Structure 1
């Protein structure tokens, strides 16, 4: 009885760690090897004490491989308990909204905790941007599969709760429109109104005239044009250029997030047909071309002042009927 009490006291005595520490325990390690590693890492004073503690707790078959965080002063009892529970350290990777699938794959490949290759670039718009948590050893392909499964689930949920009478014929149309909304504005409060502009134009059979679709038509999944959009770009026919084609492009131009999908499915109740940058990072919206022209003139004056240019000697020609976008959408 005295021996048992002494053993329990040893198990509960504070260990040598002066600060918390993460240790990765291999799947191929036996419990004696684990003890040796924990001693080398300074988690326990003595490997044999760990082995004896495991035997005393009859936990030999319950030890699990993984990456574990051991707190400062963790006792043998604490250390064994952490390994038995199998609650490994969780890492995370954040994939921002609006990246193309090619850009998303590049981000996953940059992460040195994930393992393995990615077989192929997923279909555009098929991944849900989000923060994903994972244990060390998870493959990049598994993260891609999780992103795709989450996207299918979220799109199905949002499509089922969409507003009535939208000029969208399928969940695929929803994702395509949401991808355009995602690239048009970074302001959460504007998403539903930007979506309304494009849905109103679709209903009126007006061309969408969205700058990000020009860029995607030129560079595809690379995402960035690297220069301003030229007049020749606006007039250049591509399958995605909504200055040239009617209706939606043939597919998404990025991976939209949940908020953009919800905005496309439940747009603001407005008759707006135009928008232009307002100089604050947001947009000025308009129902008529006349009102839009005034907003464009104000934006041009803001640009002129920002660039330190003198006022033009005469009024500029009327702008085209496109929903002019902020500079960030042009590169």
Structure 2
């Protein structure tokens, strides 16, 4: 009798173990298989959320097929206690395993509302925008100048109080250190004083994610560190026989290149012109350096250069001085830095605007004069068009 009972118990145990193994295999397949989501969605994870609450939300939005398997999978992979507050983009057909990773990984929101403060060369403005998960594109909701006297739009005040709002500071290539500091002082979601303007050229133009209440000084330090890293890496990989001997001089050249062209593909060619001029003892003769000598980087000139300004002997007037100015004239981006240390190999000594946003390059003065004549014709035509053709 006891032998029969033991035999039956063993048989039952084997059946249970086999069934459990089958269930685990099936659940694992369900956990890692493509999910039912037909269109990307944003999932909000408030502070203090639990896997149970998130699994219910995901099920209601049609992102997962089983709340239980979602929670078991999170527990089995040791991620059930790692929920991060924020708003996260869940792509279509994302598996439960992928969704668990999305809501437990970095904690950096990838969805929802974003406040972007763009500090530019000619102007700065704040954008309030929201990600449309269906298209993965941001839709602008408001834009304003925080330095103006006008009040911020109501939607800005609303989203500032939202827990999942993301903040970014976007610095344009070619912005001066004064412009960056002035812009940061107008960012009311940052804290801390900036007692002085950092050295020109040593702040990296880039996009910086910040949190409300972040320190302005610490953000400046991040910019400075990033620029130092870029400059150091570029200098290590520099071309031979450059007409400058230090990374600091390369940064000066990069800033001039940055201010002369916004066309990425042209930067190495522009660099080659200035390098060729330095090698041949020809003055750089570049307007942006003269302008910097007048404005000292505090805003834009807002008009053309006068003859007297082109003739004035200042440390930044490269029509008068030999070589380069004493400091950078803006904060160059990485592409301009790389162009400065690895210029194109050309015989160009001149360039002028060509009317398309780029420049026409020339080896000789006669070729350059022809290009200048064409550019003046374009300018005259544009002036006629703006006057209605009269």
Q: TM-score, normalised by structure 1?
A: 0.69
Match of 1:215 among 291, 294, 299: 291
Per the alignment, residue 3 of structure 1 pairs with none
- Contact 1:286–1:292 (8 Å) recurs in 2: yes
Pairwise CA distance, 1:84: 7.1
Match of 1:116 among 179, 185, 191: 191
- Contact 2:353–2:375 (8 Å) recurs in 1: yes
Q: Which has the higher contact order (CA 8 A, sep 6+)?
A: 1
Per the alignment, residue 179 of structure 2 pairs with 103
Question: Matches of residues 293-308 of structure 1 in structure 2 within 5 Å?
Answer: 293-308=369-384
Q: Determine if the alignment matches structure 1 residue 231 to structure 2 residue 307.
A: yes
Change (3 A) 1:271 1:68: same
Q: Distance in 1 between matches of 2:45 and 2:335?
A: 37
Per the alignment, residue 162 of structure 1 pairs with 238
Per the alignment, residue 267 of structure 2 pairs with 191
Q: Distance in 1 between matches of 2:170 and 2:89?
A: 25
Match of 1:131 among 174, 197, 207: 207
Change (3 A) 1:294 1:82: closer
Q: Distance in 1 between matches of 2:83 and 2:190?
A: 20
Change (3 A) 1:85 1:204: closer
Change (3 A) 1:82 1:159: closer
- Return the structure number with greater strand share: 2
Pairwise CA distance, 1:63: 8.0
Q: Distance in 1 between matches of 2:325 and 2:359?
A: 23
- Contact 2:277–2:284 (8 Å) recurs in 1: yes
Residue deviations 1:281-300, cap 9 Å, x none?
Answer: 11111111121111111212
Q: Determine if the alignment matches structure 1 residue 172 to structure 2 residue 248.
A: yes
Pairwise CA distance, 1:87: 1.3
Pairwise CA distance, 1:64: 8.2
Q: Distance in 2 between matches of 1:288 and 1:20?
A: 59
Q: Distance in 2 between matches of 1:172 and 1:67?
A: 41
Question: Matches of residues 26-175 of structure 1 in structure 2 within 5 Å?
Answer: 67-68=86-87, 87-89=107-109, 91=166, 92-112=168-188, 114-119=189-194, 120-132=196-208, 134-137=209-212, 139-141=214-216, 142-175=218-251
- Contact 1:202–1:208 (8 Å) recurs in 2: yes
Pairwise CA distance, 1:233: 1.3
Q: Distance in 1 between matches of 2:251 and 2:300?
A: 20
Residue deviations 1:204-238, cap 9 Å, x none?
Answer: 12111110001100001214101111111111222
Residue deviations 1:1-55, cap 9 Å, x none?
Answer: xxxxxxxxxxxxxxxxxx98897978xx9x9xxxxxx9xxx99xxxxxxxxx9xx
Change (3 A) 1:70 1:243: closer
Q: Distance in 2 between matches of 1:194 and 1:84?
A: 47
Q: Distance in 1 between matches of 2:212 and 2:370?
A: 57
Q: Determine if the alignment matches structure 1 residue 283 to structure 2 residue 359.
A: yes
Larger-Rg structure: 2
Q: Distance in 2 between matches of 1:86 and 1:130?
A: 20
Q: TM-score, normalised by structure 2?
A: 0.59
- Contact 1:68–1:82 (8 Å) recurs in 2: no
Per the alignment, residue 270 of structure 1 pairs with 346
Aligned residues: CA RMSD: 4.2
- Contact 2:84–2:107 (8 Å) recurs in 1: no
> Any gaps of 5 or more consecutive residues in structure 2?
1-39, 59-70, 76-80, 91-99, 111-165, 386-390
> Any gaps of 5 or more consecutive residues in structure 1?
1-18, 32-37, 44-52, 72-79, 310-331
Change (3 A) 1:181 1:85: closer
